[in-house]
Amino acid sequence: MARLAARVADLVGSPVRDMLKVAEVPGMISFAGGLPAPESFSPLDFHEAPAEVLQYGPSEGDRAFREAVAAELGAIGLPDDPDRLLILSGSQQGIDLAAKLAVEPGTRLGVQDACYLAALQVFRLFGAEFVPLASLLAGEGPAPSLAYINPTFQNPTGACAALAERQALAEACQRHDCILFEDDPYRDLDFEPVERRPVASFIDKGSFIYQGSFSKTVAPGLRLGFLTASPDLLPKLVHLKQAADLHTNRLSQWLVLQRLQAPDRLARVDANRTLYRQRRDHFAAELSRLFADLADWEAPSGGFFFWLRLKGEVDASALLPAAIRRGVLFTPGVHFEPFRIGPSPTLRLNFGYVTPEIATRGLTILADLIREDRARQAA
Amino acid sequence: MARLAARVADLVGSPVRDMLKVAEVPGMISFAGGLPAPESFSPLDFHEAPAEVLQYGPSEGDRAFREAVAAELGAIGLPDDPDRLLILSGSQQGIDLAAKLAVEPGTRLGVQDACYLAALQVFRLFGAEFVPLASLLAGEGPAPSLAYINPTFQNPTGACAALAERQALAEACQRHDCILFEDDPYRDLDFEPVERRPVASFIDKGSFIYQGSFSKTVAPGLRLGFLTASPDLLPKLVHLKQAADLHTNRLSQWLVLQRLQAPDRLARVDANRTLYRQRRDHFAAELSRLFADLADWEAPSGGFFFWLRLKGEVDASALLPAAIRRGVLFTPGVHFEPFRIGPSPTLRLNFGYVTPEIATRGLTILADLIREDRARQAA
């Protein structure tokens, strides 16, 4: 028997990734996963790709690409210095690097009551003990070493933190020497005017990591993200990046640089914003029509997700097998809830991936299923 | 002060990666790094890339690409089943995943006396204690949990293990429940007939990971590698891959699949083999002409590297600053030597990256420098 590290004893796959395989069954309607709409992709223009992208490149990322990203970060109150940037092979990698930097068995780690599940997966792998973010804000108990937040169009809840909450988070992290780790992949998919200033922009002397992604606005298949961090952390993150994969794919960096510099860049972002806003509006209307007596929710003002809390004592996970048999996939909320004990009535629905027509079909099937389940429970 | 994990307390960057920045100084002659010859790259044809490469994909890698790679592995005695394959974002990532799987503080890890430095960097990060591979072979002391080997055109020594040595390694790993981790990025750059059968192909009931790379034969900038593993390890490695970066860049997978299926594939591999053989031959001749009284070495029968042992009590590291001032970069061997105590007379020279003309220029500068240093010592 091979001798393995203790950290992999309870290792399991991501339930969302595992469901993506089911999602490939023809005709399956998928509200699971965080996939962008295929209609949101613009064709990429490879024709002028320079030969240098074929060679090894810097671990930090290609200079011209870092300059373009840094300029955008400067506009939202973050460091505008390309030397403060690290290009990532997708923002999932930033979570891996942050965990290597700050998490070992027993490390206290502040998270929201509902939190991106692939972040929980990584933090658990490195031995984190989760503490509610509310405890950090209230100053209760020993402070966590790191607080992972996704304040803008959160995955899974869709929530967007108000200004006072953002300032309070930054203040609490600084007061308790807690590293603020802000994950911000959805910020450019805003449907109404809403507070989006990075929490990290309110940090003046503390330690932070702020990361973004091109998976939702350009194409996830290119695996491209970036992080900026306080000067005490960045050099170590660069070394951890070296050790993880030497550097990020240079062709992706070049392709996305072209996109950032294209004259129609803002028009494309706007077109996607409109596409997703329309899907959000349709989904909200259909939920009101079909789920008013079945669940509670708040319409998100950006991002990809509706977060439903089913009324009554319902275990949303228990509904999934029947939903799959009827051709609909969703993600049970319990996978996102580190503090939940026992079954959860929550579920996450990605409204952005499917067309409105398919969304109606899927939501109808789901509402029928929940209604039948209720009737059976009552009988 | 941010509270960090103990593993990053002594974290340093890769000396080779740091030197790559110096290598960008115009006119610098670089024998450092493991860069392929720019002349070895063929232009990539992007024109037919399907839109699906833009979307999220499976963590294991795209099916068609796995099928093509598995067919090649089957031909060298490894599993030919695409479901036994995991596509990597470069083979450096395979080292990270293997370390997460099997290395925690105090884990005994078998390595060669000279070993790929970026592997040492990752294993150290996870707390490995290195033991000589020779102890495993001799059955001395408690057996390591994992043995990392690079038996074919080794980095840094260029050595290629004989059949008996390969069989002995496989046998020792199986006998001691030691995971065999074979790293094989150079196998297709063979200059003469030589034993290249994977050590993993001699494992019949033990645990193993075997990995390869397209960085040396197609293009490192695409960051593409793969691993196959024994059935007890593969599912955990897939989950670790999910957690690390979800999946590998799909455009790279598609591009390299086209290359694997191209009718001129073997001709291109042969052309590169010829290019590197000629550079090896030129380098060997120039070393004989310039270094006969200065160093010992064996010409490699494949791969990228000459490994020089300077004669006498010379610290090769101490020569590097003067070499850089004269415009030549090399990698001091001490970075590859986990068991070395005190200074090392070894250095690694990449003969593949520079043209023969530049190689002559660089070797001449280096030989002069060493000769002057000797004269100073003698004075």
Q: What is the pLDDT of residue B13?
A: 79
Q: How confident is the model at residue A18 (pLDDT cuts 50, 70, 90)?
A: confident
pLDDT of residue A276 exceeding 90, the answer is yes
Residue B207 burial by Cβ neighbours in a 10 Å radius (0-12, 13-18, 19+): buried
ipTM value of the model? Answer: 0.96
Is some CB atom of chain B closer than 8 A to the CB atom of A125? yes
Q: What is the pLDDT of residues B132-181, one digit of tens each?
A: 999 999 999 999 999 999 999 999 999 999 999 999 999 999 999 999 99
Give the integer Cα–Cα distance in Å for B277 and B280: 5
| pLDDT per residue as tens digits for the range B12-33 | 877 777 777 777 788 899 999 8
Q: Is B232 on the interface with A (CB under 8 A)?
A: yes
Looking at residue B46, its pLDDT comes to 74
pLDDT given at position B47: 74
In a 3-state reduction of DSSP, which class is residue A130?
A: strand
pLDDT higher than threshold 90 for residue B10: no
The answer for B 302-361 residues in CB contact with A (under 8 A) is none
Determine the 3-state secondary structure of B182 from DSSP: strand
pLDDT (tens digit, 9 = 90+) per residue, A161-193? Answer: 999 999 999 999 999 999 999 999 999 999 999
Please, what are the domains in chain B?
13-34+266-378 (3.90.1150.10), 56-261 (3.40.640.10)
Residue A250 pLDDT > 80, yes or no?
A: yes
Alpha-helical regions (H) of B196-315:
234-245, 250-261, 265-291
For the residues A206-218, what does the mean pLDDT come to?
Answer: 96
Task: For residue range B200-246, list pLDDT tens digits in order.
Answer: 999 999 999 999 999 999 999 999 999 999 999 999 999 999 999 99
Among candidates B202, B186, B198, B178, which has minimal Cα distance to B110? B178
Instruction: Give the pLDDT band (50/70/90) at residue A315.
Output: very high
**Which residue from B minimizes the CA distance to A205?**
B1
A227 neighbors A88 (Cβ within 8 angstroms): yes
pLDDT at A347: 98
Question: CB-based burial of residue B140 (10 Å sphere; 0-12 exposed, 13-18 middle, 19+ buried)?
Answer: exposed
Phi-psi group of A28: left, alpha or beta (phi > 0 → left; psi -120 to 50 → alpha; rest → beta): beta
pLDDT at residue A379 greater than cutoff 90: no
pLDDT for residue A17 is more than 80: no
Of residues A192, A163, A369, the one with CA closest to residue A280:
A192
Q: How many CA atoms lie within 13 A of B371 on its CB side?
A: 10
Which element (helix H / strand E) includes A272?
helix A265-291
pLDDT attached to residue A301 = 98
pLDDT category, A79, cuts 50, 70, 90? very high
Chain A residue nearest residue B20, CA to CA: A58
Within 74-103 of A, beta carbons closer than 8 Å to B belong to: 89-90, 92-93, 96, 100-103
Which pLDDT does position A300 carry in this prediction? 98
Percent of chain B beyond pLDDT 90? 91
pLDDT at A348: 98
- Which of B93, B101, B235 has the CB atom closest to A244's CB atom? B93
| Res. A305: pLDDT tops 80 | yes
pLDDT at A144 (0 to 100): 97
pLDDT value at A45 more than 80: no
Are A65 and A226 spatial neighbours (Cβ–Cβ below 8 Å)? no
Gap between the Cα atoms of A148 and A196, Å rounded: 17
Q: Is the CB of residue B205 less than 8 Å away from at least one CB of chain A?
A: no
Report the C-alpha gap between B184 and B150 in whole angstroms.
Answer: 6
Residue range A17-28: mean pLDDT, rounded: 78
How far is Cα B294 from Cα B312, in angstroms, rounded to an integer?
9
User: What pLDDT, on a 0 to 100 scale, did the predictor assign at position B356?
Assistant: 97
For the cut 80, the answer to whether the pLDDT of residue B350 exceeds it is yes
Arithmetic mean of pLDDT, B291-320 = 97
Contact A203, A172 (CB under 8 A): no
- All residues of chain A having their beta carbon less than 8 Å from the beta carbon of residue B18 are none
Mean pLDDT, chain A, whole residue set: 95
**In B, residues 44-63, which contact A (CB 8 Å cutoff)?**
44, 46-47, 49, 51-59
B125 to A242: CB separation less than 8 angstroms, yes or no: no
What is the spatial distance between Cα A240 and Cα A231, in angstroms, rounded to a whole number? Answer: 15
Chain A interface includes B179 (CB < 8 A): yes
Neighbours of A42 (CB within 10 A): 15
**Total beta-carbon pairs less than 8 A apart between chain A and chain B:** 242
Cα B196 → chain centroid: 15
Tens of pLDDT, residues A122-166:
999 999 999 999 999 999 999 999 999 999 999 999 999 999 999
Chain A closest CA to B368's CA: distance in Å?
30
What's the confidence (pLDDT) of residue B19?
Answer: 73
pLDDT at A19 exceeding the cut of 80: no
pLDDT digits (tens, 9 = 90+) for B39-65: 999 887 777 889 899 999 999 999 999
Angstrom distance (rounded) from CA B209 to CA B206: 10
Over residues B323-339, mean pLDDT: 96
Phi/psi at B171 (5° precision):
-65, -45
